[in-house]
C-alpha cells in the first residue's frame, strides 16, 4: 500500500514539477497515525492541491491580491494571509517568494476524513519589494505543519504553520 501511494504521488508530482519548473518536490511515504486508512487517490490529490496552494500563496503576496487565495485557503489561514496582503498594500510593498524544494510527508488522516496533516521541509527565497525597488532577499529553510481540509473538489489549506526544529 505504501509503495503504491508513493508511486502514485511521485507520478502526480512529476507532472506538477514540470508545470512549476524550478520547484523540486519530494514525497516521503505516508506515516499516517489515526484510525482511517489513507487511499492513494486521497494522498495524491492532497499533495497536488497543497503544491498548487503554494503557487497561489506566491501569486497573492507578489500581486497583493487577496482573491487569489480563495481557491486554496480557508478559515483563519486565509484570513491571516489576507491581513498580511492588506498590510503590504498599506505600506507600498510586495513580496516575491520562490520555493525551491519541498520535502512532504502525510502524517495524519483524521478518523472522519475531514482533515489531513502533513509536514513540509521547504527551502525558499523571499524578496521584499518596496515601491518597485528590491530592499533585500533572504534564503529560508523552514519546517511547516500543514492541515488540509476537503472542499467541493479539492483540498484546501486550513493551517500553514512554521515550527522550530
What residue ranges define each of the domains in the chain, with the CATH number in brackets? 2-163 (3.10.450.240)
30-56 burial string, b = 16+ CB within 10 Å, else e? bebebeeebebebbbbbbbbbbbbbbb
Average pLDDT over residues 97-115: 94
pLDDT at 35: 62
Window from 29-33, 112-116, 147-151 with minimum mean pLDDT: 29-33
Average pLDDT over residues 77-83: 98
Kindly report the length of the chain. 165
Q: Over the stretch 27-44, which tens digit does the pLDDT of each residue have?
A: 998 887 666 788 899 999
Window from 4-13, 62-71, 88-97, 116-125 with minimum mean pLDDT: 4-13
136 phi/psi in degrees, rounded to 5: 155, 155
Share of the chain above pLDDT 70, in %: 85
Predicted TM-score (pTM) above 0.95: no
| Per-chain mean pLDDT for the chain | 88
Average pLDDT over residues 92-118: 95
Amino acid at each position: 500500500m505504501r509503495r503504491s501511494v508513493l508511486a502514485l504521488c511521485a507520478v502526480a508530482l512529476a507532472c506538477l514539477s514540470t508545470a512549476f519548473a524550478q520547484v523540486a518536490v519530494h514525497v516521503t511515504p505516508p506515516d499516517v497515525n489515526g484510525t482511517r486508512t489513507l487511499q492513494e487517490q486521497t494522498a495524491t490529490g492532497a499533495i497536488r492541491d497543497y503544491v498548487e496552494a503554494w503557487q497561489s500563496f506566491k501569486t497573492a503576496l507578489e500581486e497583493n491580491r487577496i482573491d487569489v487565495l480563495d481557491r486554496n485557503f480557508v478559515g483563519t489561514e486565509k484570513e491571516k494571509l489576507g491581513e498580511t496582503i492588506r498590510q503590504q498594500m498599506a505600506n507600498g510593498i510586495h513580496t516575491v517568494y520562490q520555493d525551491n524544494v519541498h520535502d512532504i510527508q502525510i502524517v495524519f488522516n483524521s478518523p472522519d476524513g475531514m482533515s489531513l496533516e502533513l509536514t513540509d521541509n521547504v527551502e525558499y527565497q523571499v524578496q521584499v519589494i518596496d515601491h518597485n525597488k528590491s530592499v533585500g532577499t533572504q534564503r529560508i529553510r523552514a519546517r511547516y505543519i500543514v492541515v488540509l481540509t476537503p472542499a467541493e473538489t479539492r483540498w484546501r489549506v486550513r493551517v500553514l504553520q512554521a515550527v522550530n526544529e
